[in-house]
């Protein structure tokens, strides 16, 4: 049993490091977003949000309405629609109901501020905590996830145990 306790203590320590990294990156992103809202034009911020959405969903069809874009920018739907129409007139985007297509992503990127790039760079620069039980060096987030999965397996935890714990956390956070 002492070996299991030591493994769990090491896992807790490494998880604490991951949470500290997450908190650091989240705070940096919040501060960057606040500075962005204060200094960049709505057009620059709209281009930034549209590029970010295209990176996550693919440029073929980005499910983002004018109303949602307006909420992200802190402006009304009509103002967001005027900005989108400017991008459409410049042939940067094509619109469809409840979505847009990124026709010229490089042109849209040229209109965007660089705040997301700054946040991504910070995320890359904050060191990953290296779990003490990891064999070799852990240099990326996927490698860290793999090391945690191996540790969970050694502790006798299955993916069902972890999924069950996640459901408990999700239920608790809804209250």
What's the predicted TM-score (pTM) here? 0.66
Is the model's pLDDT at 174 over the cut of 50? no
Kindly provide the b/e burial profile for residues 36-57, where b requires at least 16 CB atoms within 10 angstroms of the residue's own CB. Answer: beeebebbbbbbbbbbbbbeee
What integer best gives the mean pLDDT of the chain? Answer: 80
User: Higher model confidence: residue 69 or residue 135?
Assistant: 69
Residues recorded for the chain: 175
In tens, the pLDDT along 34-86 reads 999 999 999 999 999 999 999 888 878 889 999 999 999 999 999 999 999 99
Domain boundaries, the chain: 2-131
What is the CATH number assigned to the segment(s) 2-131?
Answer: 1.10.10.10
Cβ neighbours of residue 29 under 8 Å, at least 6 residues apart? 119, 122
Q: What is the CA radius of gyration of the chain?
A: 21
Neighbours of 159 (CB within 10 A): 10
Q: Residue 58 and residue 56: Cα distance in Å, rounded?
A: 6
């Amino acid at each position: 049993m002492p070996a299991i306790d030591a493994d769990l203590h090491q896992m807790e320590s490494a998880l604490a490091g991951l949470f500290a990294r997450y908190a650091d990156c989240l705070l940096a992103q919040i501060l960057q977003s606040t500075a962005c809202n204060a200094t960049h034009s709505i057009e620059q911020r709209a281009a930034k949000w549209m590029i970010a959405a295209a990176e996550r969903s693919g440029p073929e069809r980005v499910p983002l309405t004018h109303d949602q874009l307006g909420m992200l920018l802190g402006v009304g739907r009509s103002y967001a629609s005027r900005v989108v129409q400017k991008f459409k007139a410049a042939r940067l985007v094509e619109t469809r109901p409840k979505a847009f297509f990124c026709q010229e992503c490089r042109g849209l990127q040229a209109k965007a501020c660089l705040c997301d790039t700054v946040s991504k760079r910070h995320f890359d620069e904050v060191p990953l905590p290296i779990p003490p039980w990891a064999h070799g060096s852990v240099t990326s987030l996927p490698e860290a996830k793999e090391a945690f999965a191996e540790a969970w397996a050694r502790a006798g935890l299955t993916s069902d145990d972890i999924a069950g714990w996640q459901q408990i956390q999700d239920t608790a956070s809804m209250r």
